[in-house]
Structure 1
């Protein structure tokens, strides 16, 4: 008795707690191959050592979202094992490339708590950091998650909602050392469109759709060692369905965005994100993007572009996001606001 871990419930969190997450993970080329098998990922910088070397890097780094998933997955047993839903993201930055052979660790600091009015659950805000084997922070982000209470009579903590920046300032984006797009090969990358070809306010329908399969999302969730019950255990929800891991939708939508944004090579900032509606096996995911902002960077030939990536289910996207009541439309799965690096 007492040796197993039932996970934390809402009343177990304390403001200021720093939780070191277990089980370091060494990532390799196998991780990249599996990622590219799960998603139609084709961005050239993450596909080719030669392309990356021509762009000033020593080799092709691991996909930015591989780093995100591994760091996120480490945090699940301590943060969201008993989650109802992962609600949102903010203040995310990729600070250093992750290379094959790197070992990643995660830790999270509790920065906010708010009990829901029904008294059955509450929202926990955490800042999660991923570090490599040298102790260097490779990425960080804030997320907030709704977590069940174990004891409905437990006292509610004082409400603290962190004051988060609406976006990451372009000047705070970290550009990988040596990155140089001045000799960029647009033919190899797959599209001719460069930073100057995109206008703020422009919307892009990424055309393609992918039907989510139960087997693929289960494989992905296991790959990232995400043990949240809602993704694995069909008895955990009243409808008997396994909820698709929100990160699976992020990666699918990002991969679909290649058609129209093939040169948005690296994600370097996560401004905001919301999993607007649940996704289940059998849903067909499509995506569209809106250009929100653009900025110069100090790196040669490298521009930053701020994009809203929206994933929808079922029919072709019509660029609609919210209804007159301000709530997300029922077919919207994901609303993600991020910075990417693109050749000027």
Structure 2
């Protein structure tokens, strides 16, 4: 029997006009991360970083167990924010100031919070850009990851008032002194036979480029399972009718993970990610696209008070279809703005930790 008093309990999500500066979201569904999650992540991306893969290696360095892959944890933490922040997004535009603060282990429970720190309505009046400062916390209420991201979100009511434009000031690079490195983790005497490469921090030079040799075709089933693994419910990844391209869009975070996995060959001893300085999903990726990765060394940081480990600031370029001949082909500057090759799908500026020579 039809009940005329029934209400629709399905959440509609937030549209651009629903956000305001200083608004805080405590996102639903904390997630206890398991070894099964790690195994599935490896199956979907091919990730091979050794401290996420081998418990004895992690123990030998001083970790209490093998750690959860940095990007797996990041995607899961970000996935929590989607229902409140980006369920009505047109596109996820970028990241900045991502800091991996504490190691995460199987059995840890992760929850996320977001604070709105910026708003800018687009000139067409149909959408706007929302900037949020996010934190992932473990079961002990310790911050394990922090980041800023910005998304383009539809307006539901195009007649809603235009908010005052507020753009956050974002650091372009997380400085070496601000990187979080566990004091009880030791990189001295690292056994490079565990990774298959003898190249350590000292062997990389600023300006050096690495053309990683392997490619990976992203199957529809792969990116769908991966996005479900991250519990990211953004509709444009599952429902083609919600995408402006009339087909499902591969979650940009999964593209990031595939590119990071492909970069292993040539950066085998980049054991963990300390920070993501900035990033852009330059062009869409769809099921069936084949992805290749290129890296360039942007900078080399010594870590204050540490002689056993150094940091490399890297630029990771993901490209679909065919490898680039050089990273110079990835983008160009036109009237002061960066213009990307249409096949470039990721431009990521990030910092990794790597053992130094004794």
TM-score range, shorter chain: over 0.9
The equivalent position to 1:329 in structure 2, one of 341, 344, 356, is 341
Q: Superposed, which structure 2 residues align to 1:142-291 within 5 Å?
A: 142-291=148-297
Aligned residue-pair number: 344
Change (3 A) 1:177 1:31: farther
By how many angstroms is 1:2 displaced?
Answer: 3.5
2:133 matched to which residue of 1? 127
**Equivalence for 2:310:** 303
The question of whether the paired residues in 2 share the 8 Å contact of 1:61 and 1:100 is answered with yes
Shift of 1:55: 1.4
Unpaired segments ≥5 residues, structure 2: 1-6
Determine if contact 1:92/1:271 at 8 Å carries over to the other structure.
yes
**Separation (CA, whole Å) in 2 of partners of 1:270 and 1:316:** 23
Q: Which runs of 5+ in 1 are unaligned?
A: none
For the Cα contact (< 8 Å) 1:179–1:299, is it kept in 2?
no
> Could you report, residue by residue, the CA deviation over 1:103-139 in whole angstroms, capped at 9, with x for unpaired residues?
0000000000000000000000001100000000000
SS in 1 for 2:332: coil
C-alpha distance 240-202 of structure 1, shift in aligned 2 (>3 A): same
For 1:57, the equivalent position in structure 2 comes to: 63
Counterpart check, 1:17 vs 2:17: no
Distance 1:2 1:237 in 2: 24
Larger Rg: 2
Pair 1:316-2:323 in alignment:
yes
- Aligned residue for 1:192, secondary structure, equals coil
CA–CA separation in structure 2 for the residues paired with 1:238 and 1:258: 33
Alpha-carbon distance, 1:300 to partner: 4.9
Q: Distance in 2 between matches of 1:38 and 1:308?
A: 23
Asked if 1:109 corresponds to 2:118, the answer is no
User: Residue 323 of structure 1: SS of its match in structure 2?
Assistant: strand
Give me the TM-score of the superposition, normalised by structure 2.
0.94
* RMSD between aligned residues: 1.0
- Partner SS for 2:340: coil
State the match for 2:4 in structure 1.
none
CA drift of 1:238 comes to 4.5
8 Å CA contact 1:179–1:300 kept in 2: the answer is no
1:141 matched to 2:141: no
Q: Distance in 2 between matches of 1:175 and 1:35?
A: 24
Which deviations, in whole Å up to 9, do the C-alpha atoms of 1:120-173 show, x marking residues without a partner? 000000011000000000000000000000001111110000011111111100
Alpha-carbon distance between aligned partners in 2 of 1:116 and 1:73, rounded to the nearest angstrom: 25
